[in-house]
Amino acid sequence: MLDNAYNASGSPNIALVKYWGRRDDALNLPNNSSLSMTLGDGLTTTTSVLFSSKLKEDAIYINEKKLDLSSATNEKSGFMLKAINYMRSAAKMDSHLLVVSKNSFPSDAGLASSASGAATLVYALNGALELNRPTKELSIIARQISGSACRSLLGGIVKWNKGSMGDGSDSFAEQIVSEHYWPELIDIIAMVSESKKKVSSSEGHKATVRTSPLYKARPSIAEASVSRVIDAVKAKDINSLSEAVMRDSNNMHATMLDSWPPIMYLNDASKAIIETVHEINASHGENIAGYTFDAGPNGHIITLRKYENEIRERLSKLSGVSNIMVSSSGPGPSRISECLITDDLIAENSKV
């Protein structure tokens, strides 16, 4: 029995070339490779994991809410339990576990908290169970909880190779450059209010593949964008990076709109952000910033630190932009000393 908690911290990532549409929904195998920037600057998930024979059952708390592990209705919880059980049996551990996880960023920030949560959990389980699995393997496990999570196992600019094997063994994340390579590169996050919850990304992946004729062109377009963005990052070329990032986001959202019924994640404020970035770029005579949007209306503006104030000022004037956050690229998950598991929580979940 391991009786000490293992604590880890990890961060979300923002896709510069999007993952949208899967060739296998059970294993989260994508139709195209994707590329992301792991965030940092205090945007973190902190996770503590404890295996103990004192515990009466598995218990998982996310942002102070205890998950109902008995209901099989939530696909994400099911995927998470599968990953936990896979790692637990690989370590020949028979104790129950207690997980406490918390995000430092607001849950409506459109910051893929499931990616950061799943990556940090898999990293912490690997530590708590002393499995010593390589990062590539951890990314494969995290991918099966939430596809984009595999990219948060590494810092800096990360590529998720789509792979071609049926078992997903070649669909993993790898680092292209570390967070130290281009420290001036930042993500300005423009939070936009959303009136009503849209289609979940998990449902969206399926609906677009099933119903959008336009989607057929997407995998090869995205694959070419991945190469273009990698070249731009390596050359530290903000002009070409920005254009490729904007085009890829627009291309993904076009396939969403082409789905039937149409899926629309962007709202009027998102469109105002798009127009503003094009105006800023036109005034500079080159692309100094590129917007990208995930499955939600919040804008992520990829730019350089020297343009932060100018862009912030323009965004803050837009109606519908409620908050602005900034992050440079950060590292992958790491072990930390802060423990979220209290004696009270252990007592509450222990056998009598």
CB of 331 to ligand DP6, least distance (A): 19
Residue closer to ligand DP6, measured from CB, 7 or 225: 225
* 35 scored as a contact of ligand DP6 (CB under 6 A): no
Residue of 12, 21, 40, 147 that binds ligand DP6 (CB under 6 A): 147
Positions in 111-130 near ligand DP6 (CB under 6 A): 112, 114-115
Residue closer to ligand DP6, measured from CB, 52 or 103: 103
Residue closer to ligand DP6, measured from CB, 28 or 251: 28
Structure-token pair, residue 136: 């590539």
- The amino acid occupying position 151 is R
Distance (Å, whole) CA 103 – CA 39: 13
Residue of 103, 148, 152, 175 that binds ligand DP6 (CB under 6 A): 148
Distance (Å, whole) CA 258 – CA 337: 48
Residue closer to ligand DP6, measured from CB, 179 or 248: 248
CB of 102 to ligand DP6, least distance (A): 19
Q: Which stretch binds ligand DP6 (CB under 6 A): 14-22, 53-61, 125-133, 179-187?
A: 14-22
Positions in 202-261 near ligand DP6 (CB under 6 A): 202, 205
Per-residue CA distances from 205 to 19, 31, 47, 143, 257 (Å): 9, 10, 28, 15, 12
> How many residues of this chain bind ligand DP6 (CB under 6 A)?
17
* 341 scored as a contact of ligand DP6 (CB under 6 A): no
Alpha carbon 297 to chain centroid, angstroms: 16
Rounded to 5°, angle at Cα 333 from 112 and 69: 60
Say if CB 346 and CB 4 are below 8 A apart: no
Distance (Å, whole) CA 213 – CA 4: 53
* 201 scored as a contact of ligand DP6 (CB under 6 A): yes
Positions in 264-283 near ligand DP6 (CB under 6 A): none
Alpha carbon 165 to chain centroid, angstroms: 23
Residue closer to ligand DP6, measured from CB, 7 or 242: 242
Distance (Å, whole) CA 302 – CA 229: 12
Only one residue has tokens 């009598």, namely 352
* 194 scored as a contact of ligand DP6 (CB under 6 A): no
Only one residue has tokens 């102070």, namely 64
**Three-state secondary-structure class, residue 222:** helix
Tally of CA atoms within 13 A in the half-sphere of 270 that contains its CB: 20
Q: Classify strands 59-62 and 96-103 as parallel, antiparallel or unpaired.
A: parallel
Residue of 7, 11, 20, 120 that binds ligand DP6 (CB under 6 A): 20
Residue of 295, 301, 302, 315 that binds ligand DP6 (CB under 6 A): 295
Distance (Å, whole) CA 87 – CA 76: 17
Rounded to 5°, angle at Cα 277 from 272 and 280: 125
CB of 141 to ligand DP6, least distance (A): 13
Residue closer to ligand DP6, measured from CB, 34 or 212: 34
* 48 scored as a contact of ligand DP6 (CB under 6 A): no
Q: Which residues bind ligand DP6 (CB under 6 A)?
A: 15, 18-20, 28, 34, 112, 114-115, 146-148, 201-202, 205, 294-295
